[in-house]
Amino acid sequence: MSFEEKITWVNGVVTVLAASWYAWTVGGRLGRLPVTEIAYQRPLLVAVGAMIVLTIVGTIAMAIGTAIRAEITGEGSVDDIDRKDERDAHIEARGDRVAFYVSSALMVGVLALAMLERPHFWIANAVFASFVAGGLVSTGVKLAAYRRGF
């Protein structure tokens, strides 16, 4: 498994965990309070911040683990961490391109919510959901390309 594929796994797992935590935290308030009274801002910022920090920490941990494994087993080398071949670049470009299309299409819905003057709660959550969906689709496309080729 290439280092780029490992990073893709880290991104996917972190995105699922942070988005799930946010949905559980804020979604539990939906039936009890009107949306104008739900304090979603702090949990949303925590979720986005956690996604950033955990992805960085996970990538660093993955790099350290890969380097230690290379030294202990003799399989590969520490240089494999920095190596990104043409296949990795194509897979990353394809995943990012598909994520762009998904996020852009979903942003049309966000724009509609704004034009219909819906509460900020729905607009902010639609933006977050658009980016999460784009990220997860990107992860899925990349992992499928790594496993099945393209």
The confidence score (pLDDT) of residue 3 equals 82
* Residue 83 and residue 3 in contact, taking contact as beta carbons nearer than 8 Å: yes
Q: Which residues of the chain have pLDDT under 50?
A: none
Per domain, the residue ranges of the chain are 3-148
The alpha carbon of residue 57 and the mean position of all alpha carbons in its chain are separated, in whole angstroms, by 14
The confidence score (pLDDT) of residue 150 equals 65
pTM equals: 0.86
The confidence score (pLDDT) of residue 44 equals 97
Contacts 24+ apart (CB under 8 A), 23-31: 26/125
How distant, in Å, are the alpha carbons of 8, 15, 89, 99 from that of 93?
A: 13, 19, 6, 10
